[in-house]
Amino acid sequence: SGLLQGKNIVIMGVANERSIAWGITKSLHNAGANLIFTNRQERSYNKLLKLLEKNEIEAKLVVNCDVASDESIALAFDKIKEDVGVIHGVVHAIAFANRDELKGEYADTSREGFLLSQEISAYSLVAVTKAAKELMTEGGSIVTQTYLGAERVIPNYNVMGVAKASLEASVRYLAEDVGKYGIRVNAISAGPIRTLAAKGVSGFNEKMGVVEEKAPLRRNVDQDQVGDATMFFISDLSRGVTGEVLHVDSGFNIIG
């Protein structure tokens, strides 16, 4: 379908073929969107170019953006403004925490590790929303990626669970701020998916096993399912929804 025909959408966080942001890329491309990519590392830049070529997807623009830097965010969105002009959506699929804090006790979290995970995983959405809203002169939709560890204690998720709680609260506050400009802000809460970021979380395989056993659908979700749900949030199909967290997790979150 061409639900996103003529829409300019920024995708942040494709590291490789397994990235959730890559599943999202395919869904948005299939809906006809023009895609703009940001990434942090040279390595993911090269991977992205190869992936785009292999899948015959033509990017409108690929620009470097390290969300740890206000200057980098400003430069990226200046470049997007210069080359593309108006944008209609942003997909934020970025998070980071030190590996050694994604195991053991949350009580052992260092001050530095706590602040780093908040900065990259939660504050980045605030900074990106501020920059993106200037380019969303025709209204828009911003979608981020969260996880159940924000709502419940999930073993080992620790400091990242607290960062995701902060991210989800930010979704609500940001939704209120930008709603008056016709911009919506929502989150997808995906079940566990094997990606580069997921490798850092201790006991990740067990989490996938529990979903297969206990979730109503008795199976894990994949990047394509998150991609289609994100497409819904980016498109006008969800025009009545903002400040929401949608679980794409085979229903796992409803089971006690």
Q: Binding residues for ligand 0WD, per CB under 6 A?
A: 13, 15, 18-21, 39-41, 44, 65-68, 93-96, 120, 145-147, 190, 192-193, 195-198
Pick the catalytic residue from 45, 147, 173, 181. Answer: 147
Long-range contacts of 233-236 (CB under 8 A, 24+ apart): 233/141, 233/143, 233/184, 233/186, 233/188, 234/4, 234/7, 234/9, 234/28, 234/33, 234/88, 234/89, 234/91, 234/141, 234/143, 235/3, 235/4, 235/31, 235/141, 236/3
Return the number of the residue (86 or 198) whose C-beta is nearest ligand 0WD: 198
Return the number of the residue (120 or 215) whose C-beta is nearest ligand 0WD: 120
Distance CA 199, CA 191 (A): 14
Distance CA 44, CA 197 (A): 13
Distance CA 32, CA 236 (A): 13
Q: Provide the minimum distance between the beta carbon of 174 and ligand 0WD in the complex, in angstroms, as a whole number.
A: 16
How would you label 24-46 residue by residue, b for 16+ Cβ within 10 Å and e otherwise? bbbbbbbbebbbbbbbbeeebbe
Q: Provide the minimum distance between the beta carbon of 59 and ligand 0WD in the complex, in angstroms, as a whole number.
A: 14
157 is catalytic: yes
Q: Provide the minimum distance between the beta carbon of 147 and ligand 0WD in the complex, in angstroms, as a whole number.
A: 4
User: DSSP state, 119?
Assistant: I
* Amino acid in position 201: V
Pick the catalytic residue from 106, 157, 173, 181. Answer: 157
Residue written as tokens 């200037």? 134
Q: Provide the minimum distance between the beta carbon of 250 and ligand 0WD in the complex, in angstroms, as a whole number.
A: 13
Return the number of the residue (33 or 123) whose C-beta is nearest ligand 0WD: 123
Return the number of the residue (87 or 148) whose C-beta is nearest ligand 0WD: 148
Phi and psi angles of residue 88, each rounded to the nearest 5 degrees, phi first: -120, -10
Phi and psi angles of residue 142, each rounded to the nearest 5 degrees, phi first: -115, 130
Phi and psi angles of residue 108, each rounded to the nearest 5 degrees, phi first: -90, 0
Q: Which two tokens stand for residue 220?
A: 């894990």
Return the number of the residue (192 or 227) whose C-beta is nearest ligand 0WD: 192
Q: Provide the minimum distance between the beta carbon of 2 and ligand 0WD in the complex, in angstroms, as a whole number.
A: 26
Annotated catalytic residues are 147, 157
